[in-house]
Amino acid sequence: MELVPEPTRDRPQGIWSLLPSSLKAAASATPAKLWMARISQPSLEFLLHDGEQGVPQQYKGIAAVILMQQLCDSGSQGRCWDKAPGGEHYWIGAAGRYLLHNGKIHTLFEPPGKPALLRSVEVGNSHATIAWNPPTVAAETVTAYNVYRVASSEKSGKPNGAAPARALMRRQFSANRFAERRIRNPRLEPALNQNWDSILIASVDSDVRVYSDHSLTGLSKYRFYVKALNQAEQEGASSDEITVRTGEPGKPSAPSELTCNRHSKKQYNLNSKYGSLSDLKELIRTAAHQYQLSCCVDVVANHRSATKQDRNGHWTVFEDPQWGSWAIVCNNLQGYAGEGGLDTGTLVECAPDLDHTNPQVQTDVKKWLLWLIKEIGYTAIRLDMAGGYGVRFQKDYVDSVDKPFTVGEYWDGRVEALVNYVRAGQGSLAAFDFALYYVLKRCVESQNFQELNAYGRINGLIGIEPQLAVTFIENHDTDHLDYCSTFGGGNLDAVLQGYAFILTHPGVPSVYWNHFSDYGQYCRQKLQELCDVRVHQHIHSTSGIFMARTEWGLYAAYISPETRFCQPATASVAVKIGFKDWSPQGPNWGIATCGMNYCVWTRNKEFHC
């Protein structure tokens, strides 16, 4: 429909109608003014005003409004059409709220509601992590969130009240790719000693509902609130405000909502509220002998929490084994310098990073691993924060205990980064396939599976080094930290679609315990059926795969126990994910398991749906 004006003589208002583009109308005799229009079906009613007096009272509160400017030249004497650049007409396809700006029609959206349940997740000496829920009103319009911070100092000798931050920085984060880019902030830092109410410190994507501020100072109070943005970058109402208080600089901190200590202190003390050291050894022995399970130990060797303060008040005294500040890197983030060398990876704030270039640290880590393997009975290793220290040290540690299966938490969504990590380990180190995790999550949630196909291979570490790729749908970090929201928003059907992929494909799949224990009997049954398919059809980490369809609404593939070679005629498993119909070619296929928008076939199998 074309927007054209109709002239009127009896009143100052102009009536603009949506007419077929073949019709023409005379130009309005009204002089150039700012117009305000109320959109209805099928006409646009404009109220003439001069742009200075504002909207008359009787038109306030109208939901559907459009602002337009009459474009006239000096010789037209007001008889002109409101034309877009190039003499074209403006086009509006449906009733709604629109804004004419710089020759373009923009749709106006209702501002979103206020984010709900703002809360602190973790507070340290120089950082705070907050989380929130989407608005209960107009949540579907949210495209991003703005995070605001108000600082009020509590340090001795300084008055309480709002204080200027050291610098004003706005950051944008991509939820799935962990990309960060700095952009120009529209506001300047205030003059010295000038107070402000709040500053915008971050803008995060709509599926991110957690933010960590790492620019705080110790023993200070900070207030945070969050606003949602819609497609037009309009802010909605502010969330309720929360207050956090940072800890003493240098003092180790632990996440407030965790029920177990993830920060290594006394490394040989494995007693906890879950049981004693002897209980743990008996549990591992029973798991291995009665159930043929291999128990994996979570080795936190990147950082360590001290148990005592030194004479300067710094937390640098370690026990069991006994270390001092010499074991801490010199560029740590705890507010004091260690005496060791530079960190060989990414620094963390939760506890001092260890200097793995120190021979004594290396010796003690190897002794500790040997004790965990030989004395306690662990037969596999998970390396926490594998990006925090050099791969060469990780390989050396693992090789010293006869190379048990070891997977590193190398948190990077880039395929090339994961490939570089495992190849640097020379076969001693596997890695969690975060690249596949992000791709599969996007594909299942959007039902567009094109991204899974990377020039004929699976888009992830699984497509290049499948024997070293540990695939997963969720783990204790992604579930707790909520960096990218839960897989499929926690929807059971989406979760099972993800498992239908990783449990039938190459790589080393892992099932998140919460999915098996907390998602109900139906979920447990379907996970068991998928695991049975993998075991009975002898699918392994280097099984061959043939991707038949990767498109909008459909992913379909054939899998064979043959290593890295598969054709439909030789496959033993077929799988489809998505809302489109598909079935495998050839005879003797039977459905082994199925659910909402996924199905798995095997040769000569009974129907189990």
Point out the residues that are catalytic.
384, 409
Q: How far, CA to CA in Å, does 128 sit from each of 1, 168, 367, 462? A: 52, 17, 35, 35
Q: Are 346 and 409 in contact (CB under 8 A)?
A: no
Phi, psi (deg, nearest 5) at residue 568: -50, -35
Distance of alpha carbon 99 from alpha carbon 220, whole angstroms: 44
- Report the sign of the C-alpha dihedral through residues 119, 121, 122, 127, in that order: negative
Q: DSSP letters of 372-430?
A: IIIII---EEEETTGGGS-HHHHHHHHHTTT--EEEE------HHHHHHHHHHTTTS-E
Q: What's the gap between Cα 576 and its chain centre? A: 26
Which sign, positive or negative, has the C-alpha torsion 176, 179, 180, 184? negative
Q: Which helix (H) or strand (E) holds 576?
A: strand 573-577
Ramachandran sector of residue 60 (left: φ over 0; alpha: ψ -120 to 50; beta: rest): beta
Find all residues with CB under 8 Å of 397, minimum gap 6, and list them.
Answer: 301, 362, 365, 366, 369
Compute the distance between CA of residue 545 and CA of residue 565 in angstroms, rounded to an integer. 6
